[in-house]
Structure 1
Amino acid sequence: MKNLYLRSAVALSCALSLAACGGDDDGTVRLGGTLENVTVSGLVLQNKGGPELKIEPNATSFAFPDLIANNTEFDITVKSPPSNANCSVENGKGKSSVYGVGNIKVRCTLIPHDLKGKISGLTSGPLVIINGDHRLKIPANDTEFNMTQLAENKKDKLGQVGETLAYGVSVLQQPPGLTCRIDNAVGTMGKADVDNILITCN
């Protein structure tokens, strides 16, 4: 009789916690996290080569629909990136806990391109132009410009525009004695550099 009670207690314990006794359950832990710079469709996340999750444009968070069991290994990877970005995963590998997994970060960096063009009539200087918060000082007699500049570390590039983002180049400071206008100054960055901007000074 004593053994019967013992077996019943063990069975009840297993029923309450199947994973601890080697059984299977439907899972109780949500697997998810945050997203950055997902501006178009195409991003697909995957867990351990199995379940996939398609991410909608402009989403800022995600969660796999299927719950997983406590103390289960997970490995979130980017199966396919969106067409306009490269994406990486932080905190994507580990074991689940009873508190859930919500600290996974998927960061997407938009593929950058240059804004550049031609200049005519710039007989004095400087001419200062801007796009957003990035400015470029152009000396007298230059006939071409490129908004892209090297940062102080000589490695990073400043002034580029990511694919699908809007741009608008304007004059911040006119050169002495001249008035400059900009044609083709506004648009949305595509999959190649923008090189048709025209600055005319007279």
Structure 2
Amino acid sequence: MKSYLIRPAGALVLALALASCGGGDDDKFTVQGTVIGLKYSGLVLQNNGSQDLTVNPPASGDTVSFSFPNKIEYGDVYTVSIKSQPLHQTCGAAREAPLSLSDTAGRLSSINAIISCALNEKPVGGTITGLTKDTTGLVLANGSNTGTYSPTLEAITADKPFLYSLPVQVAYGVTYSVTVITQPVGRFCTVQNAAGTMGDAEITNVNVNCVPR
């Protein structure tokens, strides 16, 4: 047989042998997953500390899917982390799948990292003035939330203004309205700056002033 016919045939056999050994996308895995509860922009994910991926909130619904562009090989370890939190929210591994953000490619048939985002919550409070150890019994509440607050005797025995904070925090964008549920003994208390909408910082100016009846 002519040698010039053998060379192309040999090259074809070699190419088929290499293809049969794998190396195509069928042997690789996409690092992908789902973000639940994302409402604001700014979320940036990272895989293995190098690949960045910006995830925007869904146009509708409560979930949005994501996938990193670079695939990984079978047996490679992936770790999805939060590089930048979205505005007004905090995201992390979903409670129902806490280990889904880090694993080895191929242990499962596909990669599904599940991330959950929640609105940031901040406390509401301020200063209480005008109470003494003999004028206890004040009870405050937030009308748009749950939980009440009543100052302890230790807080008011100094007979001077003291700081307070309601026990239940308020989520970003939610309104609050602090009211007096129970007046203290011998005092009448009013609330200044009682209502508003929670922003990105805690509220510290809902001041309560108590005067003799």
Normalising by structure 1, we get a TM-score of 0.62
In the alignment, the residues of structure 2 paired with residue 142 and residue 127 of structure 1 have an alpha-carbon distance, to the nearest angstrom, of: 15
> How many pairs were matched up?
181
Assess if the C-alpha contact under 8 Å between 2:42 and 2:55 holds in 1. Answer: yes
Assess if the C-alpha contact under 8 Å between 2:33 and 2:67 holds in 1. Answer: no
In the alignment, the residues of structure 1 paired with residue 57 and residue 209 of structure 2 have an alpha-carbon distance, to the nearest angstrom, of: 42
1:119 — aligned with what? 129
Which of the two has greater strand per residue? 1
In the alignment, the residues of structure 2 paired with residue 195 and residue 185 of structure 1 have an alpha-carbon distance, to the nearest angstrom, of: 11
**Percent of pairs with identical residues:** 23
Q: Is the aligned partner of 1:88 residue 2:92? A: yes
Mapping 1:39-188, distance limit 5 Å = 39-48=39-48, 49-56=50-57, 60-65=62-67, 71=74, 73-89=77-93, 90-91=98-99, 92-97=101-106, 99-106=109-116, 110=120, 112-113=122-123, 115-120=125-130, 124-131=135-142, 132-138=145-151, 143-147=161-165, 158-161=167-170, 163-188=172-197
Letter in 1 for 2:136: G
Change in 2 beyond 3 A, CA 1:137/1:113 = closer
Aligned residues: CA RMSD: 4.2
Which aligned runs of 4 or more in structure 1 are off by greater than 6 angstroms?
none
Assess if the C-alpha contact under 8 Å between 1:119 and 1:145 holds in 2. Answer: no
Segments of structure 1 that go 5 or more residues without pairing to the other structure are 1-6, 149-157
Report the alpha carbon displacement of residue 110 of structure 1 after superposing the two structures with TM. Answer: 2.5
Segments of structure 2 that go 5 or more residues without pairing to the other structure are 1-11
In the alignment, the residues of structure 1 paired with residue 128 and residue 139 of structure 2 have an alpha-carbon distance, to the nearest angstrom, of: 15
1:152 — aligned with what? none
Residue of structure 1 aligned with 2:206, choices 180, 197, 201: 197
Larger Rg belongs to: 2
Letter in 2 for 1:81: Q
Normalising by structure 2, we get a TM-score of 0.60
What do the CA deviations read for 1:43-95 (whole angstroms, capped 9, x no partner)? 11123322513232897433224685784643211121124455434431113
What do the CA deviations read for 1:114-141 (whole angstroms, capped 9, x no partner)? 5222434777221011232232113565
Q: Is the aligned partner of 1:21 residue 2:15? A: no
